[in-house]
Chain A
Amino acid sequence: MNQDLRKERAAASFNPELLTHVLDGSPENTRRRREIENLILKDPDFQHEDLNFLTRSQRYEVAVRKSATTVEKMRKFGIADPDEIMWFKKLHLVNFVEPVGLNYSMFIPTLLNQGTTAQQEKWLLSSQRLEIIGTYAQTELGHGTHLRGLETTATYDPETQEFILNSPTVTSIKWWPGGLGKTSNYAIVLAQLITQGKCYGLHAFIVPIRELGTHKPLPGITVGDIGPKFGYDEMDNGYLKMDNYRIPRENMLMKYAQVKPDGTYVKPVSNKLTYGTMVFIRSFLVGEAARCLSKACTIAIRYSAVRHQSEIKPGEPEPQILDYQTQQYKLFPLLATAYAFQFVGAYMKETYHRINKDIGEGDLSELPELHALTAGLKAFTSWTANAAIEACRMACGGHGYSHCSGLPNIYVNFTPTCTFEGENTVMMLQTARFLMKSYDQVHSGKLVCGMVSYLNDLPSQRIQPQQVAVWPTVVDINSPDSLTEAYRLRAARLVEIAAKNLQAEVIHRKSKEVAWNLTSIDLVRASEAHCHYVVVKLFSEKIPQIQDRSVQAVLRNLCLLYSLYGICQKAGDFLQWGIMTESQVTQVNERIKELLTAIRPDAVALVDAFDFQDVTLGSVLGRYDGNVYENMFEWAKKSPLNKTEVHESYHKHLKSLQSKL
């Protein structure tokens, strides 16, 4: 092991193993996770070829091969629990990108949620066994977030009892679905249902797209890969154009809405249940933000402990770059953020399961808030993590630009989280809508509960509107609870301002919708402040629950750093409304520097506690053993460009350049 890392690990103030247990939820979870990971690492059938040296088409092929072995091995190892499947796939697939993934994450769940018993009997078993591989086709070339804008049509023909599917325009071509390009032979297609001359809005249809046996597109279907992307090389995101393509009436998912053989449309009983899936996916994405940022921090911090550069004092040996204040200032707040998001992710998952139980018992009361909260937190955590991962990459200097660092790969595969499953700005505005509703509710004299209950305390509700200078502002910058309070005040203030500006625009513009658009910057700010408060709150509530004293102490420092760094970045908000004074802001800046120094000796142990296998990190710079340079050299030699000593382009181009000039 590299000497620097050995020293770092020896000097840590706490046992990282105990922190790993906290992150996994229990020592038992840690044990089982490692057991599953070892099954993969020890199995000779699992080759971990370096994806960086492969072409896109090769990467796709590897991914398909891995999908095939996944099915077989999970059956063999008896892995069926959702968490265990996740642990398995995350290590096995490395990037967690899987061409048959949508079959499990969208096709089957949609069939279960929206299909009749007969439909489930027909398709469920074969899709679970991958006799058919399904995908889910919603977004179109010209339409994304706004579902009602989708143009694909499904027109019912009572004579043949079939639906006729059409992509009437270029913009209506289905675009982006994963696994659609090359892999799937079925798709659940979202289309505007037209029957008896009337459009009834979006419905889901099971559509065969490729011929069983030959895998060729069926007549009337144009299907293919949408081409190279920023990342997701392993995934064949695809397009689908349908031209008077007929499917039987029974292929419309009819658990809720129905079309009778004669073409009569039967309305669905209202269902909020689809909320559930969205909430699940978004809370999963919060966890992903935590995970990807944790990986990036692991790489950047280990490398910064191995890398020596320049001098702090002349004549002394080059210090580890982690000893530079600027490097600590770049990385430690991000490390603190990674921990914050880990706990938020765990909270979201718990809440989802809890509420899911309530829903099962018919209690939907918490769903609207949870729906609003997951939307905002998905946006807040993915935006933050996105910028933070890139900051980690930059903190590794030139070497961060090489694929051997693993950081470009983490970035390009994480960044679509900001736009998929609901574009982030749109998500923030959904949360804002809930905040405005809650504000109005308080304004009309009703109390609100849950995370927004702070709106009940707005002084303008009790005393008089507008004046805020009278707020109590005794913030103890060493107390996580007191800092939570400061964030709470900031959120309350920004929600109030957005609400008032919205109100003013409504009066001025005489159109609620136009007013909404003209206030949307304020609304997004309010949502961000709300989410920031929630993250700080969840992090600080976690601290007293930690049993080991030394682990608690180091997490407390991270929690303080996370909260104080946010105040420093958004100092204007805290100053403008008198939540903090000028001298407190100065103290915050000083305290941050002290915390950097305090965290420095534990930095490597803190990333070790994330407990990533080297295979998962996919990084030469972030290796556990810290033997960075010799392995970079070995890695580079494997590059296809080094296959021959003299590159073919020498003979083709360079030689003639030399002779012709």
Chain B
Amino acid sequence: MGSPVHRVSLGDTWSKQVHPDIQSERHMQSFDVEQLTKILDGGAQNTALRRKVESIIHSDPEFSLKDNYFMTQNERYEAACKKKFHIQMLAQRLGWSEDSRELGYAYRSLSGDLALGIHNIFLKSIRSLGSEEQIAKWAPLCNKFQIIATYAQTELGHGTYLQGLETEATYDAATQEFVVHSPTMTAIKWWPGGLGRSATHALVLAQLICSGARQGMHAFIVPIRSLQDHSPLPGITVGDIGPKMDFDHMDNGFLQLDRVRIPRENMLSRFAQVLPDGTYIKLGTAKANYLTMVVTRVDILLGEVIPMLEKACVIAIRYSVVRRQSRIRPSDPEAKVLDYQTQQQKLLPQLATAYAFHFLASSLLEFFHRSYSSTLDKDFSLLPELHALSAGAKAMVTDFCAQGAELCRRACGGHGYSKLSGLPSLVTRVAASCTYEGENTVLYLQTARFLVKIYLQAQESPGSTSQRSLPQSVAYLTAPDQTRCPAQRAADFLHPELYTTAWAHVATRLIKDSAHHLQTLMKSGADWHEAWNQTTVIHLQAAKAHCYYVTVKTFTEALEKLENEPAIQQVLKRLCDLYALHGILTNTGDFLYDGFLSGAQIDVARTAYLDLLILIRKDAILLTDAFDYTDQCLNSALGCYDGNVYERLFHWAQKTPTNTQGNPAYEKYLRPLLQSWRSRL
């Protein structure tokens, strides 16, 4: 069987042969891998385009990622600047526009290892919050990189809670300027990407004060570095916030403003304006922009977060069919570690989760895009649901992807600890996603707030009108509920309807419980806020169950659409079954609690789960191949398509700077140490 050229791409002379242990996994194909790749890409055309872009990127040595693991933070940042420069040149030459698919695929193949990531967010914010004149002035400057921009919101002492931000912009009518100022230590802007070393301009979120009155958060364009020599402008203290767990390619920065004056025109004024005399005028609400934010959130999941779990699965599963360890039977050779039940239990649920999330995020995006038209007509009724869905999905997906990637890393034993495996960087990258773009607990609780509200509404007016208007993702709350699960045999647990209902049941119960807890506390005299804080643990649980339900439901719906691909449908259905059952078996308490499942049914579900592991095991390599990541993009000594793990690890290790450069510690300390006694003897 010939190996697809687009996959075997590192071109190492010693790796012409695919390792027989991984070759044998691809021997019997129960489904068409290529076809599954096309489904994941959203069509054959996309696959073709993606591969074309990948081959352009990978054939250009400027874009090589191979030295990444050996670089200091400083070198990584510099390399990311260099790549950014080259990709802009390339995009200009090939006519790839900023939002083009081509550029998206290029980012994917570079694993996002580019500087100035926030430049674009500045531009998007100007477009959504700026007046027509402001857009006309700043967008071209951005597009041509006449300025390099960032978005400065979080402060040293303030994150999630926008109203708590301390930076002030005080209007001075005499000069028609805003005075932007950091009044305290905790008000220093902290974390914005690109701020540390790169940006010339920042969009600063600050409390607007005009005519002595505080008007809340507004956005201001603040020049921070000289366009001539890049030095910080007067009144600006700016720099890098120092080493982090990862994101070395990004210069996250700090910004302290000491009464910096900017012209009145630099306040973004689509929704609010300050007139020259200091009069403040509101010009409507920014609600319409809300959808853009919600879409961006899910875009990040699909473009950045989920791929990290996918890659971790590819690396760990490929390695697990090449790595042999111990014997299952004394007479056999050492077994592939993927043949151990415990290894399957670690990795295959992660693989199922990666697929589940792919379909979840894709379907959410589709739903959001369908909702565009209604918000354009100023119908904002869908917004609360969209918000709750995106907040919950972000929290769950980033949580599970971070844990899953780390699980994959540890499943590779000692070698997973080496950066050359590629896994540590995946883990540290995806870990950041749990706290950026909204801390996960806060986001889950936003979803919970929506669920409680909907539930209480449905209770207040059990009439048909409210039920008809119940948003689709929570419609199950008023659907007839089973009190006992009818499953008897293992095979019963492989019915999508059965486990979807089980999840709906648990989510409903938890939402009910959380609402009742809240009401009980309020009846006993607590005010709403206090009662809310006292019940957040159960709200959190309810939101998590709801999100799990939504994922299971979405996955089963996606399967229904694959009728014309029975082989693929079958293999994906196993993953869907595994995802649903894995969730049940890790939360048995929730299902046993009110007797919805009996102990005997749990045992039966466990049998079904164990049988699934064996079936999915057979297709595991093909399922990871279908993600179609190139070897360059994986950048892993353990995860290459050809399975030549050990040669590559040895080869890469020999090239590390610790081996190619001298050992100054020997001359300075080791030699004197080794000889200290001798001289005395």
B-binding residues in A (CB < 8 A):
52-53, 55-57, 60-61, 64-65, 67-68, 71, 126, 129-133, 139, 141-146, 149, 170-171, 173, 175-176, 181-183, 185, 212, 215, 224-232, 236, 239, 307-314, 318, 323-326, 329-330, 390, 394, 397-398, 400-404, 408, 412, 415-416, 418-420, 423, 425, 429, 511, 513-514, 517-521, 524, 568, 570-577, 582, 585, 589, 593, 629-630, 632-633, 635-642, 645-650, 652-658, 660-661
Contacts and interface: CB of A to CB of B under 8 A. Distances in A.
Contact of A64 (B146, B657, B669): B669
Given A225-B659, A309-B164, A572-B588, A404 B242 contact: yes
B441 A401 contact: no
A231 B428 CA distance: 12
Nearest to B648: A170
B673 interface: yes
A193 B70 CA distance: 38
Given A310-B160, A658-B146, 7 more contacts: A215-B671, A312-B529, A398-B191, A400-B435, A572-B589, A629-B185, A660-B89
B20 interface: no
A323 B145 CA distance: 46
Interface-central residue, A175, A183, A576, A655, by most chain B CB under 10 Å: A576
Given A310-B164, A629-B157, A636-B241, A325 B413 contact: no
B328 A308 contact: no
B563 interface: no
Given A398-B159, A636-B254, A657-B88, A572 B342 contact: no
* Nearest 3 A/B pairs, CB to CB: A572-B588, A571-B589, A639-B242
Contacts of A641: 73-74, 77, 196-197, 239-240, 242, 251
B329 to A, nearest CB: 5
Contacts of B16: none
A518 B340 CA distance: 8
B92 interface: yes
A656 B230 CA distance: 13
Given A68-B673, A576-B599, A227 B656 contact: yes
A314 B529 contact: yes
A329 B540 CA distance: 11
Contact of B650 (A68, A170, A236, A654): A170
A429 to B, nearest CB: 8
Contacts of A143: 325
Contact of A657 (B85, B185, B245, B406): B85
B328 to A, nearest CB: 5
23 contacts: A65-B665, A149-B326, A226-B418, A226-B653, A309-B161, A325-B536, A326-B540, A330-B441, A394-B440, A416-B414, A418-B410, A419-B417, A520-B341, A521-B341, A589-B538, A636-B239, A639-B241, A642-B240, A646-B230, A646-B231, A647-B77, A652-B78, A653-B81
A181 B658 contact: yes
Contact of A658 (B148, B157, B602): B148
Q: Tell me what chain A mostly uses at the interface: helix, strand, loop, or mixed.
A: helix
Nearest to B680: A129
A579 to B, nearest CB: 11
B206 interface: no
Classify the interface of chain B: helix, strand, loop or mixed.
helix
A253 B346 CA distance: 40
Interface string B322-341: 01111111100010000111
The size bracket of the interface on B is: 35 or more
A313 B435 contact: no
Nearest to B427: A230
Contacts of A637: 239
A380 to B, nearest CB: 15
B533 interface: yes
Nearest to A408: B245
Contacts of B434: 394
B82 A572 contact: no
B81 to A, nearest CB: 4
B325 A146 contact: yes
Interface stretch (B172-180, B359-367, B488-496, B590-598): B590-598
Nearest to B185: A629
B81 A649 contact: yes
A199 B196 CA distance: 62
B77 A640 contact: no
B324 A142 contact: yes
B416 interface: yes
B391 interface: no
Contact of A185 (B144, B661, B674): B674
B661 A390 contact: no
Interface string B109-151: 0000000000000000000000000000000000011101000
B574 interface: no
B646 A170 contact: yes
A57 B242 contact: no
Contacts of A176: 414
A521 B342 contact: yes
Nearest to A131: B677
B374 interface: no
Contact of B69 (A227, A429, A646): A227
Contacts of B410: 415, 418-419
B88 A326 contact: no
Contact of A521 (B84, B345, B669): B345
B288 interface: no
A310 to B, nearest CB: 4
A314 B82 CA distance: 48
A593 B346 CA distance: 32
Given A227-B656, A403-B242, A68 B672 contact: yes
Contacts of B427: 230
B82 A652 contact: yes
B144 A661 contact: yes
Contact of B242 (A229, A402, A513, A655): A402
B677 A129 contact: yes
Contact of B156 (A141, A416, A633): A633
Contacts of A68: 669, 672-673
A146 B671 CA distance: 37
Contact of B674 (A130, A224, A649, A653): A130
Nearest to B671: A215
Contacts of B533: 312, 323-325
B625 to A, nearest CB: 23
Contact of A311 (B161, B196, B414): B161
Query: Which of B419, B540, B663: most chain A CB closer than 10 A?
Result: B663
Interface string B520-547: 0000000101100111111010000000
B158 interface: yes
Contacts of A329: 536-537
B47 to A, nearest CB: 31
Contacts of A514: 328-329
B148 A653 contact: no
A575 B341 contact: no
A640 B73 contact: yes
B670 A183 contact: yes
B432 interface: yes
A398 B670 contact: no
A129 B229 CA distance: 57
B380 interface: no
Contact of A225 (B197, B326, B439, B658): B658
A493 B327 CA distance: 29
A576 B592 contact: yes
Interface in B408-439: 409-410, 413-414, 416-420, 424, 427-428, 431-432, 434-436, 439
A229 B419 contact: yes
Contacts of B242: 52-53, 402-404, 635-636, 638-639, 641-642
A509 B327 CA distance: 16
B435 A397 contact: yes
A452 to B, nearest CB: 22
Contacts of A582: 593-595
Interface in B162-212: 164, 185-186, 188, 190-191, 196-198
